[in-house]
Amino acid sequence: MKKFFKITMLSAVALALAACGQGGSDATEQSGNASSENEQIQVMATFYPMYDFTRQVVGDEGQVELLMPAGTDSHDYEPSAKDMAKIQDADVFVYNNENMEMWVPSIEATLNDGDVTVVKATEGMVLLPGDEDHDHDHD
């Protein structure tokens, strides 16, 4: 299962990076300015496991930034205006899924209006159902 997750995540991030890297600005091509070729892709990942894996996939081709500070509960997190600006400034936004980051569906419309490529890391994966009857109060 871990190998399948890694392959799927790698594929999703690779596709997103390829999509962001294709084409170019006509103005840049006409002016002969090669600075855009040297710019790294900017990636925003929601929580540490997404950040770490994405960073390994991106390598030297881009800059990966962690959105949520360590110790933050991704289920209850709500992005601030500053966080939203960081996400919108990125080329790619990587998150796990709407069950983990429950706030992502509410901002996706905003992100889709801009130039941010949204990567759902679990896209296309068959996830096992969780046990919602589990009680954490063990005696």
What residue spans define the domains of the chain? Answer: 2-20+39-120
CA distance 77 to 80: 9
Across 19-33, 70-84, 123-137, least confident range: 19-33
- Please tell me the predicted confidence (pLDDT) of residue 61: 93
Quote the tokens at residue 90.
């990125």
Q: CB under 8 Å to 5, separation ≥6 — which residues?
A: 122, 125
68-99 tens-digit pLDDT: 988 888 888 999 999 999 999 999 999 999 98
Q: 133 or 28: whose pLDDT is higher?
A: 133
CA distances from 106 to 37, 92, 109, 124 (A): 33, 17, 7, 21
Q: What phi and psi, each to the nearest 5 degrees, are found at residue 33?
A: -75, 115
3-state class of 87 per DSSP? helix
Pick the CATH number of 2-20+39-120 from 3.40.50.970, 3.40.50.1980, 3.40.50.720, 1.20.1250.20: 3.40.50.1980
Across 1-10, 19-28, 35-44, 107-116, least confident range: 19-28
3-state class of 118 per DSSP? strand
- Please tell me the predicted confidence (pLDDT) of residue 20: 52
